[in-house]
Amino acid sequence: MRHMARSTQSERALRLNAAFDLIALGYSLNEAAEALVEQFGLSLRQAYRYLQEAHRLKRPVTVSAPTIPITIKVPGDVVVELRAYAQTSGLTIGETVARAVSAFLAKARRHG
């Protein structure tokens, strides 16, 4: 049996939305499953799982941009605060840093 890599969150969202669209367009379950197999190279079993999940959705899911790992150096006290904030907020360190950097860049663009 071949082991396949897990899909990323954005890949999963794209597949789920494709399944949602096929259902909304009135495709039969079999037609929709075959379309997902063809479009994404899924197994028939995976396609049916996406269709089952998509059937429970009221609207398409948000597709987030894929993340890219980077290495940065940050003072130790900032890391301690960052970890503590991430823990209490329920966000990952990456999500916390991405939000902070996005807010900083948006402010920098406004003040040009």
Q: Determine the Cα–Cα distance for residues 107 and 46; give it in Å rounded to an integer.
A: 43
Q: Are residues 45 and 82 in the same domain?
A: no
Q: What is the pLDDT of residues 9-19, one digit of tens each?
A: 788 899 999 99
Alpha helices by DSSP H, listed for the chain, are: 9-24, 29-40, 44-55, 76-89, 93-110
Q: What is the pLDDT of residues 60-95, one digit of tens each?
A: 988 877 788 999 999 999 999 999 998 898 888 888
- What is the pTM for the complete model shown? 0.57
Q: Are residues 51 and 82 in the same domain?
A: no
| Assigned domain for 16 exists | yes
Q: Provide the domain limits for residue 95.
A: 76-110
